[in-house]
Amino acid sequence: MSPIKVVIVDDEQPARSRLRELLQDCLTELPHVVAGEAANGVEGMRIVTDTGADVVLVDIHMPEMSGIEFARHLQVLEHPPAVIFVTAHDQYAVEAFEVNALDYLTKPVRAARLLAALKKAAKGARLARGVLESIDTAPRRHFSVAERGRVTLVPVSEVIYLRAELKYVTLRTRAREHLVEESLTQIEQEFGAVFVRVHRNCLVARRWIRGFERGAESENEVGWSVVLEGLDEKLPVSRRQWAQVKSIAG
Amino acid sequence: MQSIRQNHLPDALPDFRNLGVISRILLSVNALALLFALARSREVAEFAARATEIAVSLEPVLLVVLIVLYAGSVLLERLPYLQGLLAVFAVVLAATAALFPLQLQMGGGGDSRGLAWSLVCAAFVTGAVAWYFHLRNRAFSPAISEARLQALQARIRPHFLFNSLNAVLSLIRKDPKRAESALEDLAELFRTVMADNRQLIALREELSLCRQYLNLEQLRLGDRLRVDWRLDPAAEEALVPPMVLQPLVENAVYHGIEPGIAPGLIEVRIERRNDRLWLQLSNPYHEDYQHRQGNRMALANIRERLQLHFDVEASLNTRIADGRYEIGIAMPFRTSL
């Protein structure tokens, strides 16, 4: 059996180096290599996909993206690594882990507990679907987009609009388009405060709306359309949605 | 019962320099005067006349007494309670007697019973006000021992303790010297947190507590944590409630630095302006992280303790401006109790 590949994701450098020391201590009992370490979820995702990590040690409490959100994005991968959560003190998360029988370690971490968790992870215990979503109900801060075997994380704040087209949903940022495998309805539920539905097939980010203008033709009638910040494209507002959208137009 | 009694503070004279105390004396004495006028008048017109008459003789005495007590409060506070109380009575009676001729000239004090009657009234009013402060002191003394407990509750977050211990563990093999000094900082921090926090302490001590705390945070946050101190050396001897700044600095790290990947700046500005002490603290504001708990609790706790120590003379305000969260505290500048 080849040694398992471990990746460490924690925003605090001393915490990462402490985990490295402890992993070193476990080396004789469980052969492994530390494939890399990252200070945040975005970097962590890159390292995990680059190295094909088997196990990820993830701190829960990180800036920009919580450890739980990071773990959710990992599930998009074809072969997601096993996740071991690490936390200093987060009673809510710890209770949720207990309920769902997820493996977690508390800081300061003990070598013996780390070893036990690694052994369990090496056997390939996988997360059940929906467990992480139930633990962290706060809206994500990133969308995960699978492209050519890789996963790209797009910050929610950069998304200008999302439009449903046939099978996929197109996610538009100022720079480019991505395809995501989520439904508009799910997204609307999760991010109600961020996006507003302007059309049956379209959600627009409130912060990128510059104004509204008359004259666009949709479904053979002259209606309103959204003028966006940073994009020349204009999006039609359906008559049904106009009543709601109007309120933001002020 | 013994243990409950121990919680009561010994009787003490109020702080005659405190605006809250001064206004309480003014209000209660005038209220008594009005009641007195009411009791002695049979009809409305007579009440107005009586009230004016009493006010003319009362107000000059009251004013003089308050000024003398304000000036002499430092001396009065050194006396045991009973002696201090006697001194206050002496001041009131002396002022009443000294101003009596003036009252006659102004047409007040027209009461035929003369000086003796005025002195009796003055003594009675002083006794009543002293009784009021005695009761108030008793009502508040459990609050002050409670304040000590609350200071403990505004304590350092477990999140901080475990993360710090973890950071120290990471140093032990590589840099034992630094691990030692970090543990020393941690020990001292907890010694202060667990101390009896009833008495005011020098701001200098509070600042060194903040520095020890920030040293530990620096250890784990590294370059992400930047602190800019602007201290007025004239302010360092000021007396402040213990733990008035440290919980705020801790909040600044928790809400302002930890949620950001990029380095963030905490600014601490401390100034003495005449007889006021100003503490200002600001940190980056992260809108998305406002669900993190604990900020309002620490603020309410500090506000309450400021009020217990300084009554209406202290204030705590917060605002969000230019992407920064700012807290400003103002309190009287004192160097002795």
Give B-chain residues touching A109 at CB under 8 angstroms.
166
Give A-chain residues touching B161 at CB under 8 angstroms.
89
Substitution target in A64, A92, A113 with the highest count of B β-carbons within 10 Å is A64
Distance of residue B76 Cα from the nearest chain A Cα, in angstroms: 50
Average pLDDT rounded to a whole number, residues B268-290: 90
- Residues 6+ away with beta carbon under 8 Å from A196: A203, A204, A206, A209, A244, A245, A248
In chain B, which residue's Cα lies nearest the Cα of A18? B170
pLDDT at residue number B325:
95
pLDDT at residue number A181:
84
- pLDDT above 60: residue B81: yes
Give A-chain residues touching B222 at CB under 8 angstroms.
12-13
pLDDT at residue number B207:
95
pLDDT classification of B2: cutoffs 50, 70, 90: very low
Average pLDDT rounded to a whole number, residues B179-192: 91
Task: Select from B162, B171, B174 the Cβ nearest to the Cβ of A88.
Answer: B162
- pLDDT above 80: residue B149: no
Distance of residue B227 Cα from the nearest chain A Cα, in angstroms: 18
- pLDDT above 80: residue B109: no
Which residue would you say has higher pLDDT here, B93 or B56? B93
pLDDT at residue number A222:
64
- Digit-coded pLDDT (tens) for B298-332: 788 888 888 888 888 899 999 999 999 999 999 99
Q: Exposed, middle or buried, B178 (CB in 10 Å: 0-12/13-18/19+)?
A: middle
pLDDT classification of B53: cutoffs 50, 70, 90: confident
Give B-chain residues touching A11 at CB under 8 angstroms.
261
Q: Is the CB of residue A107 less than 8 Å away from at least one CB of chain B?
A: yes
Q: CB distance A88–B166 less than 8 Å?
A: yes
pLDDT at residue number B111:
53
pLDDT at residue number B54:
82
10-residue averages of pLDDT along chain A (250 residues): 91 95 94 95 93 94 90 89 91 82 90 93 75 81 85 91 90 91 88 89 91 69 82 86 76
The 3-state DSSP class for residue B277 equals strand
pLDDT at residue number B195:
77
pLDDT at residue number B155:
66
Positive or negative torsion for Cα B230, B233, B235, B236: positive
Per-chain mean pLDDT for chain B? 84
What is the percentage of chain B residues whose pLDDT exceeds 90? 36
Tokens of B139: 């009502």
Task: Select from B162, B222, B259 the Cβ nearest to the Cβ of A107.
Answer: B162
Average pLDDT rounded to a whole number, residues B202-214: 93
Q: CB distance A21–B170 less than 8 Å?
A: yes
What is the DSSP track for B165-225?
Answer: HHHHHHHHTT-HHHHHHHHHHHHHHHHHHHS---S-EEHHHHHHHHHHHHHHHHHHHGGGE
**What is the DSSP code (8-state) at residue B263?**
-
- pTM, two decimals, is 0.75
- Rounded to two decimals, the ipTM of the complex is 0.80
**What is the DSSP code (8-state) at residue A81?**
P
Give A-chain residues touching B291 at CB under 8 angstroms.
138
Q: Is the CB of residue B158 less than 8 Å away from at least one CB of chain A?
A: yes
Distance of residue A136 Cα from the nearest chain B Cα, in angstroms: 13
Q: Is the CB of residue A106 less than 8 Å away from at least one CB of chain B?
A: yes
Tokens of B141: 């003394």
pLDDT at residue number A138:
80
- pLDDT above 90: residue B167: yes
Task: Select from A39, A89, A108 the Cβ nearest to the Cβ of B159.
Answer: A89
Task: Select from A18, A40, A64 the Cβ nearest to the Cβ of B166.
Answer: A18
In chain B, which residue's Cα lies nearest the Cα of A106? B162
pLDDT classification of B57: cutoffs 50, 70, 90: confident
Contact status, residue A161 vs residue A194, Cβ threshold 8 Å: no
Give B-chain residues touching A141 at CB under 8 angstroms.
288
Substitution target in A10, A21, A107 with the highest count of B β-carbons within 10 Å is A107
Q: Is the CB of residue A188 less than 8 Å away from at least one CB of chain B?
A: no
- pLDDT above 50: residue B7: no
Q: Is the CB of residue A218 less than 8 Å away from at least one CB of chain B?
A: no
- pLDDT above 80: residue B62: yes
Q: CB distance B260–A63 less than 8 Å?
A: yes
In chain A, which residue's Cα lies nearest the Cα of B160? A88
Calpha distance B108→B330 (Å, rounded) = 42
Tokens of B251: 């909040």
